[in-house]
Every structure is written in structure tokens, then in C-alpha cells.
Structure 1
Amino acid sequence: MTTLTRDPARTAPAGSFRDTWIPRLGGPVWLAWRQHRAALWTLVAVTLVGVAVMVHLRGQMMDLLAAQDPTSRRAGGLPPEFEAYIDRLLSIGSYLGYIPVLAGVLLGAPLIAGDLETGTAKLVTSQSVSRMRWLTVKLAVPAAVLALSTGVLSAVLTWWWNPVKGFSEGLIWTAFFSVTGVVPVAYALLTFTVGVAVGLVLRRTLVSMVVTLGIVVALGFVWSELWRSLGNVMSINTDKGVGPGLVPPELPDQAEQQGQGTYFLTSSGDRLDWTTCLDQMENDKAHTACLESKHVIGWSLDYLDVSQMQTMQWLGAGAMFALTAAVAAFVIVWGRKRLL
């Protein structure tokens, strides 16, 4: 009996081009690749195009910077043409931010739901392939391609951004936190497995894609609200007063201010809201007297420093990898019992 898991490459004549150059994918691995080859090849092609575009734009940007006097860079005297490269860098970074959405909705949700809807899952598991092996391979093959592609794009974007971070307020590290380093890989794998789990439970492709989109959007909102809590908030305090002629302290380079803004610091170490004595701002003497009555001695600012970026990324990615493993385990357990 002919099965769906036979390796077609083995039928090629010995020494032929196909026998020489085509990798010998066999069994469920070959089937998983063949079933989803359009999506996977598209992902590979997009990765190659994205890498080529970023390498080209980075080369042009570095040529422009090389022709610029280093002292003028520090003084903020970059040429107007540099703004175009900033916009392109930010735009491509924002495009990479959509990878998790596409991974969950277009790759994860239809992965098993489509096979359940068309009856392919029942046909495959009626052969000599166990449900456990089939589910594992179905998850592993697209996940490997997705992780590799996302990792390559993230690495090239990081390589492009590193030489110019700090040259502009738009290039601050918080704008690139979720699209550089290990975070995009972990995020894409999480949304992919969530999409697979939704498709396995709902068993309908279109419904699964819609539900997955909602879940992925919710995950994105939660991530955007929580990722800053992965860092250790640092503070700058002054004790020279806050009267006329004195200004709040400046943040370190590439630091992002946290909280509501600048606080007033009292002699006891407490912090007061910046709106304290706001109604007397028009009169310097009255305003100063009001602050002195509350024992204000200076300012206090909270911020996150760029030095924490990689640690925060690995903490966030670790949590995502753990969730991904949990969802993948659910897919395996649920699929073994209730696949058909």
C-alpha cells in the first residue's frame, strides 16, 4: 500500500541532479514541508529580501556617516539626509513588529485546523505515523523555519541600528526593544503555538484565524504594558533646591524617563507630585515659600538605562519561551486524545 510518508527523492535515479542536490526529507518531515511549502518558501523569500534591503540601506547610511566630521555628530550637526535613514530604520523596525501577528494568524492557526477541516489529519494518522510524531513534526518544521527567519531579520536590524543608536531621540533603545535581539524570535514562536492551539481546539480555519488575531492583539497589548517592569528603575536626585535659575537634572544618554515626570524631593526623602504648589507658579516668591514650607530640597527623576536592555530582553524572551513550551505541551496532549 502506498503511504503519504514515502520519501519521493528515493525514487530518483542514482547520480541524478535531484538525487545529488535535494535534501533527503522523509516521512512526516517531508509531508509537513510539502503541505506548507508555499508559506515556508514565502517566509524564506521575505527574509532574504529583507536582509538585502537592510544591508543596502545600512551601507548607504554608514557611507554618509563616514563623510561626516565626528565632532559635528556629537554636536547634533548631522546632515538632513540622515533623517531619511532614521525614518527607514524606524519603518522597517515597525514592519518586523508585525511578524508575530502574521506567524500566529497566517501560519499557526491554519496549520492543524486546515488538516482537521479537510480530513488530512485522519488520513495521515491512519497510516504508520503515530499522532504524537505527526503533531511534533507539524509543530517543529514551521517553528524551525520561523525561528531562523525571525532571528536573521532581528540580527540584521540590530546590526543596522547599533552604530547610530543615540544619534537621535527617535533611535532610543525603547523603540527597538521588541524588534531586536532575542525578543522577536520568542514572540513569534509564542504567537505561532497559540495559533496552532486555537486551530486544534476550534477545528475550523477561518474561525481559528479570527480568534487567533484577537488573542495575539491582546498579547501585544499586555506585552507593551509590562515589558518595562522587567528593568530596574533608577533615580537621579538633587539637593540644591528648586528655586529660580535652577533646572531639573538631565538624564543619561539613551535613558527613558519613567513615571509621571519630575518629582519634588523633600528633606525626609519623600517625593511630591510636580503639581505641588502649582497654583502659585505665577509668583516666584510665593511659589518658593510654598515649596519651602513642604521642605522641598530638590528634584527626583526615575529612568530606565540602556545598559539594562539585553537583560530585560532575555528575561522577557525567557517568559515567552516558557509559555511557548506550555502551549506546545497542551497541543501534544490535547492532540493525542482528541485529534479526530
Structure 2
Amino acid sequence: MSAPTLRPPSGPAVSSRTAPALLRPSGLTWTVLRLHRAALLMWIAALLVAAGVLTWMYVIGPDAVAALAPCGSPPAGALPDCTVLDAISTDETYSTWIRLVSTAVSYLMFPVAAWAGAALVGRELEDGTAQLAWTQSVSPVRWLAAKLAVPAAVLTLGTTLAVLLDVWARRDGNPSLVGDWYDPEVYASTGPVAVAYVLAGLAFGVLAALLLGKALPAAGAAFAATLVLSYGLRAVRPSLWPTTTITGRAALDLPRSALELEHGVVTSDGRRIGNDLACVGSGTSARSRACGRSSGLSDFWATYHPKSHFWPLQLVESGLLLAVAGAAAAAAFTLLRRRTA
């Protein structure tokens, strides 16, 4: 009896050499990640450092709050020993590191804009590698879509994670430790505007690179444009949502959580005078009223944003930033089509 003959299965043969190649990532997404793997690794490392620092801040948060509490020297009753709290100084450590991470997240848009203008697009246009890719199977529009979409996804995911960790590490948001909600760095690092600013910086960088075609000038132009956008929106931020105005003695004693914009007095004939400090600091309500009568004033008023306006302001500003980012991206696609038509 003859031994059975083993036959390979029908169909195209798959060699051991080609099998691993089929499992390798391919396509424009992988190409973008591979070309900019150094930036990707730096981004991951920065996120890991930020996550480690913020986790540490979350752990020492209760000790930082305790360090702010009243103390006695020597300790008396339930008051802790001041010398022990001063030696620990956990509150200073907590505040310092929280603010360092918040500042880094707040100004992340600037290095992103410069990197997008210089390395992501500008260098490829300057070296001619982009034009080479367009002569292959990749169209200019697909090339630009990948250049925008892949970094946008990575930056959105990472920035969102950093913002969530920042909010988590702040615990109850004690302003004596972490700053007030309206402080520029606190505001920009604890809400969706952080992601929107990063995406705007990315779009500005890509547009600047397509306009200038040179890496370094594009990086500088994108940085400058992002700087103007940041300070412009910071200047108009209080007007992005209707303010609250109150009158009476309460206008002189706004809570710390209120972002005061303007205050003043109401004269006996009903006129409002802004930023008038008359009778401020008179002491009791009776003394304030007496001072008002003698000065020809009938009331006090103040215009401010309460803490409850944090989310409306965040959402409106994020919407404006995303609209600007979308306009810059659309302009980049239009410019690319005209130049490659």
C-alpha cells in the first residue's frame, strides 16, 4: 500500500515570508504614525508624566487641605501642631505641581501649532516628499486628510485624558490650593476648551505650512496666529455669556467664586456710575446706607459671572474655537486643491 500524498489546500499559496507582511499595519494612518513616531513617543511620555504627577496630587490632596486648616503652637484642643504642618508643607507641593500641569495643558496649543507647521506638513513640502507621495497612489486630498485626522485623534484623546486627570486631582477645587475657576490657566485646563485650542493650533499649523511651504516660517506663523487667537478670546471671554447684575449691600460682598467684572453706585436720580468706590469699606450695612445718603447715593451694584457660568462659557468658547479650526482646515483643503489641480 502506498503512503497517502499530502497536497496543499487549494487556492493561492501563502508563503511564510509573506504571512507576517500581511499582519503589518499599512495605509496612510500607519504612515503618519511611523513618520512622526518621535513626536508620538514624546506625547505618550508627557502624558505618562502628567498622569503620574496628578495621581500623586490626588493622593496628597487631603494632607494639603489639612495643612491649610487652623493650627496651634503649642496645639490646643482639636487644633493640630503648627510646627508639624509647616514642616510638611504639603499644601505648597500640591499647589505648585497642580499649577505646573495646568499651565502645560493650557499652553499646549502653541507647541502643537509650531510642530504641525514645521514637522507635520512644512518639512514634507520643503523636502518634496509630499509631492512624491502625490505621484503614487495617494491623492493630495487623502494625504492632507490623513495629516489632519491622525494627529487630531491622538491629540484629542491625550488632551481629554489630561483634563480629566487634572479635574480629578483637584478634588473639591479648593481655590486656596488650586486657584479660582476663572484664572486663565485653571479655566483652560479643566474643560473642553483645552481640546478645542489644541485642534485650532493643529489646523493653524497645517494651513501655515501650505501657505508658506517652508518649515521654520510656517512654525513661526502658526505660533503667532495661535497666540493672537488665544489672547483675543481671553479678552472677550467675559462677554461670551450674559452676566449677572445685583444691587444692594450684596454687591459689596461678592463671594470669592464670583468673577467680578464691574461695580459701582446708583445715584439718587437713578444714574449708574461704574467703578465708583464711594462708601466701599464703610463697615456695617447701617454705615454704608448713612454714607450713601450723605454722598447722594441710593444703592450699590455689581456685574459678575458666578461659578455656575463655567460650563456655558466653556461650551461657547469651545464652539468658537472648533469653528475657527474647521475654517482653517477648509482653507487648507481649498488651497491644496488649487495648487494641485
Q: Same fold (TM over 0.5)?
A: yes
Structure 2: which amino acid aligns with 1:164?
A: G
Correspondence for 1:252: 255
Residues 29-38 or 306-315, more deviating: 29-38
**Long gaps (5+) in structure 2:** 1-14, 73-80, 283-287
Correspondence for 1:325: 326
Secondary structure of the 2:172 match is helix
Correspondence for 1:224: 234
C-alpha displacement at 1:211, in angstroms?
1.6
Instruction: Count how many residue pairs are aligned between Structure 1 and Structure 2.
Output: 306
| 8 Å contact from structure 1 (residues 39, 107) kept in 2 | no
Structure 2: which amino acid aligns with 1:131?
A: P
**Long gaps (5+) in structure 1:** 1-9, 240-246, 282-286
Tell me: CA distance 1:28–1:308, structure 2 relative to 1, closer, same or farther (3 Å): same
C-alpha displacement at 1:11, in angstroms?
8.7
C-alpha displacement at 1:192, in angstroms?
0.9
Structure 1: which amino acid aligns with 2:114?
A: V
Deviations 1:127-154 (A, max 9, x none): 1111111110111111111111111111
Structure 2: which amino acid aligns with 1:330?
A: A
C-alpha displacement at 1:65, in angstroms?
3.8
Tell me: CA distance 1:25–1:323, structure 2 relative to 1, closer, same or farther (3 Å): farther
- 1:172-191 matches, within 5 Å, as 172-175=180-183, 176-191=186-201
Structure 2: which amino acid aligns with 1:265?
A: V
C-alpha displacement at 1:178, in angstroms?
1.2
Correspondence for 1:284: none
Structure 2: which amino acid aligns with 1:220?
A: S
- 1:3-82 matches, within 5 Å, as 14=19, 24-65=24-65, 81=89, 82=91
Deviations 1:175-234 (A, max 9, x none): 211111101100010011101100011000011112222212211210220112123221
Q: TM-score, normalised by structure 2?
A: 0.79
Tell me: CA distance 1:146–1:11, structure 2 relative to 1, closer, same or farther (3 Å): farther
Q: TM-score, normalised by structure 1?
A: 0.79
Secondary structure of the 1:177 match is helix
Tell me: CA distance 1:43–1:59, structure 2 relative to 1, closer, same or farther (3 Å): same
Structure 1: which amino acid aligns with 2:95?
A: I
Counterpart CA distance in 1 for 2:45 and 2:124 is 25
Correspondence for 1:83: 92
Residues 315-324 or 293-302, more deviating: 293-302
Structure 1: which amino acid aligns with 2:54?
A: M
Correspondence for 2:246: 236
1:205 paired to 2:208: no
Correspondence for 1:171: 179
Secondary structure of the 1:125 match is helix
Residues 81-90 or 61-70, more deviating: 61-70
Correspondence for 2:273: 272
- 1:258-297 matches, within 5 Å, as 258-259=261-262, 262-275=263-276, 292=293, 295-297=296-298
Counterpart CA distance in 2 for 1:210 and 1:11 is 49
- 1:92-131 matches, within 5 Å, as 92-131=101-140
| 8 Å contact from structure 1 (residues 236, 249) kept in 2 | no
Counterpart CA distance in 2 for 1:35 and 1:188 is 21
Residues 177-186 or 100-109, more deviating: 100-109
Counterpart CA distance in 1 for 2:18 and 2:110 is 43
C-alpha displacement at 1:63, in angstroms?
4.5
Correspondence for 1:138: 147
Residues 107-116 or 188-197, more deviating: 107-116
Structure 2: which amino acid aligns with 1:107?
A: A
C-alpha displacement at 1:70, in angstroms?
11
C-alpha displacement at 1:291, in angstroms?
5.7
Secondary structure of the 2:261 match is strand
Q: 1:154 aligns with which of 138, 163, 188?
A: 163
Residues 47-56 or 229-238, more deviating: 229-238
Counterpart CA distance in 2 for 1:52 and 1:274 is 45
